Amino acid sequence: MSRTKVAQSLQQMSVVLRFEIDKEKNTLNAFNIAQQYHQQQKAKLASLQQYRLEYMRQLQQEGGKGVGARHYQQKLSFVAKLDKACEQQNQIIAQASVVASQRKRQWLTQQRKRQAVEKLIDKKQGTLVQLENRQEQQLNDEFALQRILRNQYLAG
């Protein structure tokens, strides 16, 4: 392969590398967003659970003071709604976890693509150096041959 073709190939691969780097940044950003969302949803669940716990403590304290049956039933109904909200939040967390895992896999896949392009570029650069070294050696050999021929001509 000629030096020009290798150099052109390197230029094209550099464009591909920039594209792959941009894609990797985008997939990393999507992964970070998905991870943040997952953490936010877990924090919401923790808040809901904490609120339920505090509400239950209040309910127990009121129960010791002799609260009416209807009022107590309303409070228990509210606790049931909090339990339902916790269940729904657990489902949201599970979905967010799946999405975060998918985004991570996409990012890692894109990272491997970028690394593969970098390896190809390194290989092409090595080929280019070899071609340049070979061309330089040929020039040196030609100069040495001309010097020998000139010295023989001058001596003879």
Supply the DSSP string of the chain, one letter for each residue.
--HHHHHHHHHHHHHHHHHHHHHHHHHHHHHHHHHHHHHHHHHHHHHHHHHHHHHHHHHHHHHHT---HHHHHHHHHHHHHHHHHHHHHHHHHHHHHHHHHHHHHHHHHHHHHHHHHHHHHHHHHHHHHHHHHHHHHHHHHHHHHHHHHHHHHHH-
Q: What is the pLDDT of residues 82-105, one digit of tens each?
A: 999 999 999 999 999 999 999 999
pLDDT greater than 80 at residue 154: yes
pTM strictly above 0.85: no
Looking at residue 60, what is its pLDDT?
A: 84
pLDDT greater than 90 at residue 123: yes
Q: What is the CATH number of domain 3-155?
A: 1.10.287.1700
Looking at residue 49, what is its pLDDT?
A: 97
Q: What is the pLDDT of residues 13-47, one digit of tens each?
A: 999 999 999 999 999 999 999 999 999 999 999 99
Looking at residue 7, what is its pLDDT?
A: 85
